[in-house]
Amino acid sequence: MTLKLFELVGAEDTRPFSPFCWRIRMALAHKGLDAQLVPWRFTEKEAIAPYKSEKVPVLLDGDHAVSDSWVIANYLEDTYPDRPSLFGGEGGRAMARMLNWWGDIAVVGAMFPLIVADIHDHLRPEDQGYFRKSREARFGKTLEEVAAARDSAVAGFRKGLDPMRLTLRSQPFLGGAAPNYADYIMFGGFQWARAISPFKLLAEDDPIYAWREKLLDAFDGLARRSAGYPV
């Protein structure tokens, strides 16, 4: 068994920062699977073209290539069924589909304007042009204009996390007593932010803050050992 994971980095190979790649890093650790990590940058389209993908994560399992974090998580669950479950059964797999969309929108999407300018600053100069152009087109504003609003915009981001916050008031993890893929979906976003931005996304008395601390410590501090800012 040889697993290889292409994951997004910026100027430094040792600062992986894609929320979607982090979902899979945590899922691999949950399954107790080792993978060789292959640093990949936004502009290196040709490196993953053979695997029919334009984005990472891309997972190679021997000769088999899988892309898209949701598809990869399902692949790992189905291919390694004797290892700890990512979903806790078929009901959990189905419900995680919606939590995945929620995570894309309310965590990753909502946090993006708060950290986008910091992402830019962590890219290699030759990658900054592509990033600025594509992201400014998406926002219809300069990165600096987007960033300027973040001190007031963070309140809306935090409010949007209410369904997650209320859940963590009555159970330690979204997956129940222990974390599962539902947690890694959301944590991927926070780890992405931590990797490249000093901005304080959460108040210290927020139950989500305490939950994030536990995920940073999980798997012998896998996520905390990766390059990042204090949270």
Residue 154, classed as helix, strand or coil, is helix
Min dist CB 100 to a second copy, Å, is 8
Min dist CB 89 to a second copy, Å, is 2
Nearer to a second copy by C-beta: 83 or 133? 83
Nearer to a second copy by C-beta: 106 or 154? 106
Nearer to a second copy by C-beta: 101 or 130? 101
Nearer to a second copy by C-beta: 86 or 116? 86
Q: In what order do the strands lie in the sheet with 36-40?
A: 36-40, 3-8, 58-61, 64-67
Strand runs (DSSP E) across 51-153, as ranges?
58-61, 64-67
Nearer to a second copy by C-beta: 80 or 226? 80
DSSP 111-136: HHHHHHHHHHHTS-HHHHHHHHHHHH
Min dist CB 213 to a second copy, Å, is 19
- Interface positions with a second copy (CB under 8 A): 85, 87-99, 101-102, 105-106, 162-164, 166-167, 170-171, 173-176, 180, 182
Min dist CB 105 to a second copy, Å, is 6
Q: What share of the chain is helix, strand, coil (3-state, %, to 5)?
A: 60, 10, 30
Min dist CB 25 to a second copy, Å, is 20
Q: What is the dihedral of CA 42, 27, 117, 152, to 10 degrees?
A: 150
- Cα–Cα distance between 180 and 107 in angstroms, integer? 17
